[in-house]
C-alpha cells in the first residue's frame, strides 16, 4: 500500500497545476480565416493610378500596389479576365476568374470645364496680342468641344503657346488646367476672332400682345460685321414694345419684328372723337387696321360709312385729325 503514495501525490499535483493554469492552450479561440479577394466589376477613380485594391476587395497588404495608369478623365477601360488572372498570379493573390467573361471596368472621374470661361481667358490673352478688345472668340467645333479634367484638380484656366494671325483673324493655343501646373491637363484649340458689339436679345421666347420690359432682356456679344442697320442695338428701341409675331430667345431683334402695343385692333369697335374749338362730338365706328397710341389709322363711321383718318388715343378710342394735323403726323 505504501508503494502507491508517490503516484497519488503526482496525480494530485498534476490536477492542481491544471486548475491553476487554466489550460490556456486548450481554451484559445480559433483564428478567423481571411476573406478571399473579390473582383470589383466596376470602379470609379479620382487618381491617375490603378492599384490592386481598386480592382479587388480584401486585397490585404497588397491593396496599395500600383498596377497601371488610370484612363483620362471622363474615359474608361475594360480589364479582361486573362489580364486580371495574370495580375493575380504575379502578386500571389488567391483569385481566379470564374468564367472567361469576368472583367472589371475602370472609369476616371472628370469635371467639364465651362467653355465660356475658356473664351473669357482667350479674349484677355488675345487682347495682349493685339486683337480687338472684347472681341468675339469663335472656337472651332465649339458645339462638340468638351474639356475634361480630373475631378479633384484645381479648376483655374491658363492659356499658353498662343499664336494670333491678325490678317486672317485666326488663332491657335493650348488650354491648361490648372494654370501653370507641371501636371496640368492640356488641350489644343483653334478658332477665329472678330470685333464684337453687345446687343439686347430676349431672355425667353415672347409672343404678340406681350409687352417687353427690361427684365425680359439680356445682352450678348455678337460679331460687329453681322449687325445690320435694322437690328435693335439699345434698350430704348425695345422697352415698351411688343413682338409682331412670336420671337425666340437669344436671337437678334429686328426693328420690323416689334411694335408699340396695339391699343386698337383691326375690325374692333371704336369711339370716334371729333374736337373743334367750340364742341366735342363722338360717334361709333370700326377700325380698318391695327393701331398703337399715337398712330394714325383709318376708321369707318358706323352710321355714315365714311372713312376718316384718326389718331389712336387709347384702348378703343380714336380722334379725328384735321388736314394740318394729318400732315404733321406723317
Task: Give the CATH number, domain containing residue 315.
Answer: 2.30.30.760
> For the residues 179-197, what does the mean pLDDT come to?
90
Return the exposure string of 206-244: e unless at least 16 CB atoms fall within 10 Å of the residue's CB, then b: beeeeebeeebbeeebbeeeeeeeebbbeeeebeebbbe
* Residue 19 pLDDT class (50, 70, 90 cuts): very low
- pLDDT value at residue 32: 56
Among 108, 124, 143, the domain-final residue is: 108
Does residue 170 sit within a domain?
A: yes
Q: pLDDT by residue (tens digit) across 158-173? A: 999 999 999 999 999 9
- pLDDT value at residue 59: 92
* Residue 328 pLDDT class (50, 70, 90 cuts): low
Same-domain status, 50 and 79 = yes
Same-domain status, 173 and 159 = yes
Lowest-pLDDT range, 49-58, 75-84, 152-161?
152-161
Same-domain status, 120 and 189 = yes
* Residue 321 pLDDT class (50, 70, 90 cuts): confident
User: How many structural domains compose the chain?
Assistant: 4
What would the grid cell of residue 147 be? Answer: 474639356
* Residue 68 pLDDT class (50, 70, 90 cuts): very high
Does residue 61 sit within a domain?
A: yes
Does residue 28 sit within a domain?
A: no
Does residue 206 sit within a domain?
A: yes
Among 194, 212, 236, the domain-final residue is: 194
Lowest-pLDDT range, 21-25, 180-184, 200-204?
21-25
Residue 238's domain is classified under what CATH number?
Answer: 3.90.1210.10
- pLDDT value at residue 25: 44
Does residue 67 sit within a domain?
A: yes
What's the whole-number average pLDDT of the chain? Answer: 87
Q: Whole-angstrom Cα distance, residue 177 to residue 115?
A: 13
Q: Which residues contact 54 (CB under 8 A, 6 or more apart)?
A: 40, 43, 45, 106
Q: Which residues contact 37 (CB under 8 A, 6 or more apart)?
A: 56, 57, 58, 59, 88, 93, 94, 95
Does residue 62 sit within a domain?
A: yes
Same-domain status, 324 and 266 = yes
Same-domain status, 155 and 173 = yes
Among 88, 108, 128, the domain-final residue is: 108
Same-domain status, 101 and 125 = no
Same-domain status, 122 and 175 = yes
- pLDDT value at residue 13: 42
Does residue 212 sit within a domain?
A: yes
What would the grid cell of residue 196 be? Answer: 464684337
Same-domain status, 97 and 127 = no
Angle formed at CA 129 by CA 124 and CA 131, multiple of 5 degrees: 70
Domain carrying residue 150: 115-194
- pLDDT value at residue 223: 86
Coil vs helix vs strand at 87 = helix
Instruction: Say if pTM beats, i.e. exceeds, 0.85.
Output: no
Same-domain status, 164 and 216 = no
Q: Whole-angstrom Cα distance, residue 52 to residue 60?
A: 10
Same-domain status, 182 and 134 = yes
Same-domain status, 63 and 124 = no
Does residue 9 sit within a domain?
A: no
**Cα dihedral 213, 218, 221, 225 in deg (nearest 10):** -30
Sign, CA dihedral 176-177-181-187, equals negative
Q: pLDDT by residue (tens digit) across 114-161? A: 999 999 999 999 999 999 887 888 899 887 888 888 888 888 999 999
Same-domain status, 251 and 279 = no
Amino acid at each position: 500500500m505504501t508503494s502507491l503514495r508517490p503516484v497519488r501525490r503526482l496525480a494530485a499535483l498534476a490536477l492542481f497545476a491544471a486548475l491553476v493554469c487554466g489550460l490556456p492552450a486548450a481554451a484559445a479561440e480559433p483564428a478567423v480565416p481571411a476573406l478571399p479577394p473579390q473582383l470589383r466589376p466596376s470602379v470609379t477613380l479620382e487618381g491617375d493610378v490603378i492599384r490592386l485594391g481598386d480592382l479587388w476587395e480584401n486585397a490585404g497588404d497588397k491593396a496599395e500596389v500600383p498596377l497601371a495608369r488610370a484612363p483620362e478623365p471622363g474615359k474608361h477601360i475594360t480589364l479582361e479576365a486573362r489580364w486580371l488572372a495574370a495580375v493575380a498570379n504575379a502578386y500571389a493573390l488567391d483569385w481566379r476568374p470564374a468564367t472567361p467573361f469576368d472583367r472589371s471596368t475602370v472609369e476616371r472621374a472628370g469635371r467639364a470645364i465651362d467653355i465660356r470661361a475658356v473664351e473669357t481667358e482667350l479674349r484677355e490673352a488675345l487682347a495682349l496680342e493685339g486683337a480687338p478688345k472684347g472681341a468675339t472668340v469663335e472656337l472651332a467645333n465649339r458645339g462638340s468641344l468638351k474639356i475634361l479634367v480630373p475631378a479633384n484638380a484645381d479648376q483655374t484656366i491658363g492659356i499658353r503657346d498662343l499664336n494670333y494671325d491678325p490678317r486672317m483673324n485666326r488663332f491657335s493655343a493650348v488650354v491648361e488646367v490648372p494654370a501653370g501646373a507641371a501636371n496640368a491637363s492640356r488641350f489644343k484649340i483653334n478658332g477665329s476672332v472678330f470685333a464684337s458689339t453687345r446687343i439686347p436679345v430676349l431672355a425667353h421666347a415672347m409672343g404678340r400682345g406681350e409687352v417687353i420690359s427690361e427684365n425680359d432682356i439680356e445682352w450678348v456679344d455678337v460679331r460687329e460685321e453681322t449687325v445690320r442697320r435694322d437690328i435693335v442695338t439699345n434698350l430704348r428701341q425695345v422697352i415698351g414694345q411688343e413682338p409682331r409675331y412670336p420671337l425666340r430667345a437669344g436671337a437678334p431683334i429686328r426693328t420690323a419684328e416689334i411694335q408699340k402695343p396695339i391699343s386698337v385692333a383691326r375690325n374692333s369697335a371704336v369711339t370716334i372723337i371729333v374736337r373743334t374749338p367750340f364742341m366735342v362730338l363722338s360717334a361709333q365706328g370700326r377700325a380698318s387696321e391695327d393701331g398703337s397710341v399715337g398712330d394714325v389709322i383709318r376708321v369707318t363711321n358706323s352710321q355714315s360709312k365714311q372713312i376718316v383718318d384718326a389718331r389712336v388715343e387709347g384702348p378703343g378710342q380714336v380722334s379725328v385729325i384735321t388736314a394740318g394735323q394729318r400732315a404733321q403726323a406723317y
